Structure 1
Amino acid sequence: MLARISAALLLTATLAACQNTSAVGSVENATADEIDTVETASIEAAADQPAVLDGPETPPADEETKTAALGKDTGDPVKGGVITHYRPPEKGTVFTWRNNWSTLPPVISYVADGTLAKGDKTYVRFKSVKGLDQTTFAYYDTGNFGLKGYRDSRDKALTTFKPVEERYRFPMKAGDKWVMQWKMKDHNSGKISQGGGIVTVIGIERLKLPAGVYQAMKVKLPTPAGLPRQMVHYVWFAPALGVTVKEQIGNGKMTWSQILEKVEPAAKG
């Protein structure tokens, strides 16, 4: 959802603004096997690069994280500071995000549209209900809440990620790191873009957002291509909701962000 923000729930326009994307003209006509070979080589090369881990941030005393209580009291998939697995939001729950990105409407809402199986994978689907010119469905792998792609109201693919954009990896705890590599196909233009790099898990923080107060895992993502290296990219995932509740990229002087403004529970009965 910074997809997509999943996203917070991110749209194709968001990808150009806040993710590490770059045109890859040489693979536009490549076969799936050829793309897989390039992906494997990229991952192996990136894995050899040294990574600098940020230490867990310590919140003020009155904001102390209560991880154990979170797991015990609410039934969320959190145990001892570890998010053990991904739990999709209840079907019918509406999430509204507000952002200050020029490439996106200031307010975007998605409704959780349940889970469905495609091939050997299961996806949680979100349907746009406010802010976009056309109805758009976002698909996330229920294994790690990885963005698979977007489709229109006729179920026609708009964008597809291969592999999924792996911002999170469960079980997930402070200090975890992995290499994220993906290629995205724009089905309208036929162009293929790629991105990725080292992902670092910072730790669980207590966030005060317009939508409420949530425990969320802070994750550092690779700096998007085309931006100064001083720009730092973070996302916060709330296991109680099953979505990204905040996304931010900036350098202290200039910051783009998207935050969860409102959560409307699924209607009962």
Structure 2
Amino acid sequence: MENKTLLMQVNDISIVFGGLRAVSNFSCFINKGELIGLIGPNGAGKTTVFNMLSGIYTPTEGSIDFWDKKRKVHSVEKLSSDKLNRIGISRTFQNIRLFGNLSAEENVLIALHGRRKVNPFDVVLRTRRFYKDEQRMREKTADLLHLFKIAEKKDELAKNLPYGEQRKLEICRALAAKPQLLLLDEPAAGMNPQETAELMDLIAFIRKEFEVTILLIEHDMNLVMGICKRLIVLDYGRIIAEGEPEAIQKNPAVIKAYLGGEAVHA
């Protein structure tokens, strides 16, 4: 049996909004290097789960453990998004959250800010170390933008980029923080079929090139079935199925809840 390294363990997390139990007893494990899909019908609670995993919501019940690069375990259910980012968890959003009035380059540079190797003294006096670090950050940004094929747009305002390139820029910015776990919330939303196919290849490449673990929410079943090795299916805030895509395609509970009684076709 293949040895696997546990990266995140989610233990029976639930959240209640005004008496409504939006997610109930959600548990899962994520191993290092996996690419997992979280799917389900609209309103199933997928983004709510993401918000709990990324520090936006605090679970009403349950716990979330995360192992950083040094294999130190963190109880992350009450940590803020910026603290999660520092220990290795980054995410994108269903509704793109870029700094629209800043350039593509500046959006990525901001994400790299937490990894600067200078102190306030260097910044105030503009020391040699400051300029060397500034150059390092710009080179790293250029490499990321090139990887996502938007390097020639580095000086354009983010709000002026085509929708598909805004999506790419958001993922690029999330990767700038060098996460161990990357949470992608509907990365193909609003993309045409060609852009979605390119994105599918890019996500697979990112996983291998950056050695990053990926959990994604996606409605495009071709994308999910094409790249995910394991799927978790939610309905009304509860897990109704989990397993390999081939098994999920044939699962009666999934067919009933997610597809209205029709089989899933990749």
Same fold (TM over 0.5): no
Q: Which has the higher helix share?
A: 2
TM-score (norm 1): 0.27
TM-score (norm 2): 0.27
Q: Which has the higher strand share?
A: 1
